[in-house]
Amino acid sequence: MGEVRQSYLVAATSAVALLGDPAVAGGWDKPSALTEFSVGGLSGHLAHQIVRVRDVLASGNGTAGEPIELLEHYSRSPWVQAGLDHESNVFVRRGGEAAAADGAAALVERTQALLDVLITALPAEPADRVVHLPWADWSLTLDDFLLTRLVELVVHSDDLAASVGVETPALPESINGPVVELLARLAVHRHGATAVIRTLSRAERAPATISAF
């Protein structure tokens, strides 16, 4: 199995363990560290990074077209630079809250069951598998799509941990490395290399932000 696929499964397993932390259930209806997300809604969004992989695998090869590159994928995605009130971000928040509606225990049980399916399914997928993203209407290689989910799992695990006052899950370099690399590429694409270099090397000349999103 490819490294990205293995890293995704490790990060997903870590995320499910975090979802099952008693502190998450205890803060379920409280505001999270993300604006306009409850802890439960953020948990639902974190779990959705496993749901979406199940969904694209189930879509079949017949719907997939020529895959685009990752930078183009993010450039085309309206949520990347949209405000909180943009329909894409409102849709994400509603989806997270809907997934959380029946409580923490039910979400963990459903998500663990999906992860168990993926642990078997992902190693069996062809190395050159291309998947169609029906919500976006374009295609990515499976490994590129998993890298986008890896970023979501790592970033939102940190958000959720911060929301309930527990330590952010420790993840290996095989996960953090690709996530940092992709976020850096996106930051350069959005702000330019000079802004990123200054932020990393010259605090006195750093711009206000080099956020990838």
**pLDDT(63) > 90:** no
In the chain, the amino acid numbered 122 is: L
Instruction: Identify which of 167, 113, 169, 133 has the alpha carbon closest to the alpha carbon of residue 52.
Output: 133
- C-alpha 2/C-alpha 28 separation (Å) is 35
Q: 109-164, pLDDT tens digit by residue?
A: 999 999 999 999 999 999 999 999 988 889 999 999 999 999 999 999 999 999 99
Burial bucket for residue 65 (CB in 10 Å: 0-12, 13-18, 19+): exposed
* pLDDT score for 92: 79
* pLDDT score for 157: 98
- All structural domains of the chain, each given as residue ranges with its CATH number in brackets, are 3-169 (1.20.120.450)
Average pLDDT for 173-190: 94
pTM of the model: 0.93
Helix (H) or strand (E) holding 159: helix 142-164
* pLDDT score for 36: 86
**pLDDT(209) > 70:** yes
C-alpha torsion angle, residues 79, 83, 86, 89 (rounded to 10): 50
82: confidence class by pLDDT, cuts 50, 70, 90: low
| Residue with the larger pLDDT of the pair 82 and 193 | 193
104: confidence class by pLDDT, cuts 50, 70, 90: very high
Place of tokens 């994400």: 92
146 touches 22 (CB < 8 A): no
Distances (CA, A) of 109 to 10, 17, 100, 122, 180: 18, 11, 12, 20, 30
Instruction: Identify which of 153, 42, 78 has the alpha carbon closest to the alpha carbon of residue 145.
Output: 153
**The Cα angle at residue 5 between residues 22 and 67, in degrees rounded to 5:** 120
Mean pLDDT in the chain?
Answer: 92
* pLDDT score for 95: 87
